[in-house]
Structure 1
Amino acid sequence: MIKVENVTMKFRMANDRINSLKEFVVKKTLGKITYKEFTALKNVSFSIQKGEVVGIIGSNGAGKSTLLKVISGIMQPTTGSVKVEGSIAPMLELGAGFDVDLTARENIFLNGAVLGYSKKYLTERYDDIVEFSELAEFMDVPIRNFSSGMTMRLAFSIATLVNPDILIVDEILSVGDGSFQKKSAKRMGELMSGGTTVILVSHSIEQIKAMCSKVIWLEDGLVQMVGDTRDVCKAYNDKMKNDYLINEQKTMSKKEDNTDWKTKLYTPTSIEKIEELYFIVDCWHHRVIYNDNLTDPIKNWKTLSNNIGDPHSIVSDGIFYLVEDAQLNEVKVFKKENNSFRQIQTIEQLGQRPNRLIYDSDNKKYYGISAMSQHVFVLSNEEDETIICEKVIRLGYLKEGSYIRSISLIDKELYFVSGPGKIIVANYMNSSFDKLREYKVPFELQGMNDITKIDSYYYISVYQNGAGEIAPRLVRVKDLDDLAQSKYEDIYAELGLRGVPYNFSFIEDRVFLTEIDSYSSIISFKVDGDKIVDVCSHYEAGAAADSSLWRRNS
């Protein structure tokens, strides 16, 4: 039914991050864009017979999702061939193929048509799809207003109730509440017993063992092993354990010569005071540290976690402490236990590179932005037991391909800065995130980091200009409409900055500003009648040392 022969998949990637079409045109014209070739799949061959349930395993970046997209016909291989007999229902992403501006009812027919089913057939199965999804009262609601769980239930219901010949599932069974997971597992069992061919990608080896009769193990784009589930899973687990021990030994060996980074900061993206403790998010050292004062040297601070990929912020409701892991596309949840912290939860499926978290104490919700995929997500405290994800939504007005560094709450409205090259204001109180208005900014301010309001001024930190070149600024303006005409006050030199000004925070009666990239430090100041006074420097680390550069890349 499925035959993959000598499939190789290559991608051509730019060496530099390009945040906009304008930046691409400028760099392309100047000949500044260089590329490197990445091979995701290398001469992959195997076959799957009708009715088989096959698992695909491998570490992150092994090529699993790319392989599924090639089998589904979403991507054409660079070389090699894929032969598929029968209809395919690919479930590669939550709501893939949905139009967020259409209602759930309309998306059932749209998505079903994409899968190759007639309107007559979908009409006959419509009631079954709605009943299984448990979304009857939301059928006339646009998908953009759905939570991630609701979107997943609808996507799963459409894909599995139209009885496809081949069902391709990429991690989707691990999403949703316990009740729906049991329900979806039962439905998967019915499909398997009914002769549907299933290809399942999962990081849960236990799930693979429970559902699959055959497993394909991929690593670095190469097929390592194909065969009986028990044999392949054992070989994979043995390899992972061995690699872990080897990496631990290498890491310990390197750490002996690279401990100096622990005594300083490298790109501190955020500082907060939560109850009686100060927290510093030390981004490129991949850690969050805390202390009860701002006078002790950094080496004396305690560590919340030193295993977070590029964290940018920390927020808390006094019970849970949330930090985003931008590298793993997840949010880590901690709880305080006596004099230390313990990670209790990981929240996934939030988009690409979650980059900023904020907490609104009025409605007791957390809001976050995923920088690369323009997804906004809403999290909340579930009876002090866990953090739940209420909603994940991609906002079309943020412009696909843009990089959104920050969100801020100002006067009961949500402000977005950076990627779109403008400031956008949205309604967040009802979780609709409808756009209220926008403000144009000049070329030199288009790569913004953060925005806040202090007394009568808006303060804006800037990383890059419109061409993507690092050109740090710190500006303030009373009327955001004035920005379009470059009418603003640049206070970068007044505050004695040397690096890139990043995030603002408020601790007691002072404004704190972190400084990152080429020069790392934290400053604070007071504002008295719109006049900046009493500027102080905290933990000035300066340029990165060799140990910090090692830690960033380790």
Structure 2
Amino acid sequence: MIKVENVSMKFRMANDHITSLKEFMVKKIVGKLEYKEFIALNDVSFTIEKGDVVGIIGKNGAGKSTLLKIISGILSPSKGKLEVSGNIAPMLELGAGFDVDLTARENIYLNGAVLGYSKKYLTERYNDIVEFSELHDFMDTPIRNFSSGMTMRLAFSIATLVNPDILIVDEILSVGDSQFQKKSAKRMRELMSGGTTVLLVSHSIDQIRSMCNKVVWLEHGTVRMFGNAQEVCSEYTESSRQEYLVKEQKEHLVKENSTTYEWKEQLYTPTHIEKIDECYFIVDCWHQRVIYSSNLTEPIINWNTLSDTLGNPHSISSDGNVFLVDDAAGNEVRAFVKEGDKFIQTQILDRVGESPNKILYDAQAQRFFGISAMSQHVFVLNNSGDKVWIDKVIRLGYLQENSYIRNIRIIDGELFFVSGPGKIIVADYINSPFNIIREYKVPFELRGMNDILKIGSFFYITVYQNGAGEVAPKLIRVKDLNDLETSDFEDLREIVDLKGVPYSFSFFDGRVFLTEIDTYSRIISFLIVNDEITDIQVHFDTGSPSESSIRKRSGQ
């Protein structure tokens, strides 16, 4: 049992900016040290019974970690009483209780001793700990050489396989690959069914709902609500939604009353246009937004906004239920769902690499595939219905470091990488973990490719830069990609009267759509009949960016 009664926690923080020990001692001696009080917890009370699984939720700074440290015995409260019955296994920080200079084997005994277990008991459970952590080949390796994921595996294995009376977990279940997360969740449920009391801090409300029977909701250091997990989580979610709507309305009023928002009538580097169901979406990259409309001929000012707080988005993709947009500047992927005529952001997925640049959905694999341009990571996302999971994130050795991979495209059941390290690379994404099938070298002038599409007999390719990184736009097509190396391709710039840098292709409504970006923003479309380009239409032609657009891009 855990009984928290009128617990408060105050911290004294120095007001002075002291740069040396001498200055500190002088001010202390003369009594001129100034402090301010920070109240992390204020009059917190609740009782947890044996076997309860209690989630602790709240925004950053609400006092969640401070509360766990007090229950763990790491901190003593400034006021109030705490009663704890049973031994505690706290998992408050990855590697806490580890000595980085010792091996994993030695740290099992060290960390186990910190948790209060004998050497004999730990020896009996040693093989179970190693088996669960899956670190058989690394037990004699110093912890300092471990990745954060490996450290987490070891810490979780020690803490949970010694069957504590009380297990305290602070966000640790969100670390590691999806397979280990599932394994950890299963182990947590085994502990719960065995009577272990669990306190779990997580920003994932879905995780709290599925694992906990009670929830403590902290707000500014006080208990906003305590009780049944489903009821508290529902109230918390609704409160967060209302706060978001109020904030959005305030921002909207500020924008509407400002004369500097003429950019809303324009496009600035539209990197992608797509039709999903009966709705058209435009990714307006340098305006940091995605907009949508049911009518392609509507003026841009009349389009609705999915979000205008994105960081250089490049693409949007959907499986029909969830809509994913890359946030290249934030190194994350945003997930949205449609509610009526509006779109609500439901998730932010990070740890997908640096500068995610393209996301696509493949119905055959029933997965989303993405590429992070700067770090050359490929990521695979799985929509389980309730949540989008990161299936895997992998950096492929054949995508050379410092090569900027702008795009991926599935063509005839194979995954194409462009621009790649001076080549187009084709990989097997269904039967293997992206093993190379073949590759095509490209000449110096095509090194900075943007996108590739196959229609009829031809591959169509857009190009941003040459091998020196100079802006050198090209729109080409070729029947055999082997001919690229000798520059034996057809130049289409004059045929479509190219104005800007050709970026991405889309195909819907029986037409090929092409976006143009950078110094000139435009979206055009055309028909391809018997390999002939016909009926070229201009849908949006903003031209060179306005001062308002340039300010929007820079965040002014």
Residue in 2 that maps onto 1:404: 405
Q: Deviations over 1:441-469 (max 9, x none)?
A: 00010011011111111111011111111
Give the structure 1 partner of residue 131 of structure 2.
131
Distance 1:529 1:249, change over 3 A: closer
Cα distance change of structure 1 residues 399 and 372 upon mapping to structure 2, 3 Å threshold: same
Corresponding residue for 1:29? none
Give the superposition deviation at 1:355: 0.6
Q: Is the 8 A contact 1:375 1:394 kept in 2?
A: yes
Kindly indicate whether residue 153 of structure 2 is the aligned counterpart of residue 157 of structure 1.
yes
Q: When the two structures are superposed, what TM-score results if normalisation uses the length of structure 2?
A: 0.62
Query: Could you say if the C-alpha distance between residues 447 and 304 of structure 1 is closer, same or farther in structure 2, counting changes exceeding 3 Å?
Result: same
Relative contact order, CA 8 A, sep 6+: which one is greater? 1
Alpha carbons of 1:129 and 1:250: their partners in 2 closer, same or farther (altered >3 Å)? same
- For 1:338 and 1:390, the matched residues in 2 are separated by 29
TM-score for both structures, normalised by structure 1:
0.62
2:314 aligned partner, one-letter code: H
CA distance in 2, matches of 1:170, 1:476: 54
- The residue that corresponds to 2:372 in the other structure is 370
Over 3 Å counting, the alpha-carbon distance change for 1:496 and 1:438 in structure 2 is: same
Counterpart among 180, 186, 204 of residue 184 in structure 2 = 180
- SS at structure 1 position matched to 2:552: helix
Query: 1:70-149 maps to which residues of 2 (within 5 A)?
Result: 87-88=99-100, 127-133=127-133
Partner amino acid for 2:100? I
Cα displacement string for residues 130-159 of structure 1 (whole angstroms, at most 9, x for unaligned residues): 4333x59xx89xxxxxxxxxx976452246
Match of 2:45 in 1: none
Structure 2 partner of 1:287: 289
What is aligned with 1:309? 311
How far off is 1:492 after superposition?
1.5
Residue 430 of structure 1, CA deviation? 2.9
Match of 1:272 in 2: 274
User: For 2:442 and 2:449, how far apart are their aligned partners in 1?
Assistant: 10
Q: 1: distance between equivalents of 2:490 and 2:172?
A: 49
After TM superposition, list the pairs within 5 Å mapping 1:81-480 onto structure 2. Answer: 87-88=99-100, 127-133=127-133, 154-158=150-154, 174-175=174-175, 177=181, 180=184, 252=254, 256-382=258-384, 384-430=385-431, 432-480=433-481
1:182 Cα deviation after fit: 9.5
Q: Structure 2: which amino acid aligns with 1:310?
A: N
Deviations 1:138-193 (A, max 9, x none): x89xxxxxxxxxx9764522467699xxxxx9986533648737969999xxxxxx
User: Percent of aligned positions with the same letter in both sequences?
Assistant: 52
Q: Distance in 1 between matches of 2:441 and 2:172?
A: 39
Unmatched segments (≥5 aa) in structure 1: 8-50, 55-71, 73-84, 91-110, 118-122, 141-150, 164-168, 188-201, 205-228, 232-240
Quote the residue 1:489 is aligned against: 490
* Equivalent residues of 2:356, 2:370 under 8 A apart: yes
Q: Which AA in structure 1 matches 2:153? A: S
Aligned residue for 2:433, secondary structure, equals coil
1:438 is paired with a residue whose SS is: strand
Amino acid at match of 2:369: Y
The one-letter code matched in structure 2 to 1:174 is S
* One-letter identity of the residue aligned with 2:458: Y
Q: Are residues 1:499 and 2:538 paired?
A: no
SS at match of 1:420: coil
**SS state at 1:475 partner:** strand
Taking structure 1 as reference, are residues 179 and 433 closer, same or farther at Cα in structure 2, changes over 3 Å only? Answer: closer
CA distance in 2, matches of 1:336, 1:162: 43
CA shift in 2, pair 1:425/1:303, >3 Å: same
Q: Which runs of 5+ in 2 are unaligned?
A: 1-17, 21-71, 76-93, 110-122, 138-146, 160-168, 192-201, 205-219, 223-242
Q: 2:173·2:184 contact (CA, 8 Å) conserved in 1? A: no
Quick one: which amino acid aligns to residue 543 of structure 1?
A: S
Secondary structure in 2 aligned to 1:494? helix
Deviations 1:331-383 (A, max 9, x none): 1111111111111122121111111001111221110011111111111221x
Structure 1 pair 408/267, CA: closer, same or farther in 2 (3 Å)?
same
Deviation of 1:124 after TM superposition, in Å, equals: 11
Q: CA deviation at 1:406?
A: 0.2
Check conservation: 1:398, 1:419, Cα contact below 8 A. Answer: yes
CA deviation map 1:107-127 (0-9, x unaligned):
xxxx969x9x9xxxxx99983
Question: How many angstroms apart in 2 are the aligned matches of 1:129 and 1:490?
Answer: 62
1:396 partner SS: coil
Deviation at 1:252, TM superposition (A): 3.2
Q: Secondary structure at the match of 2:519?
A: coil
The letter of the residue matching 1:127 is N
| SS across alignment from 2:429 | coil
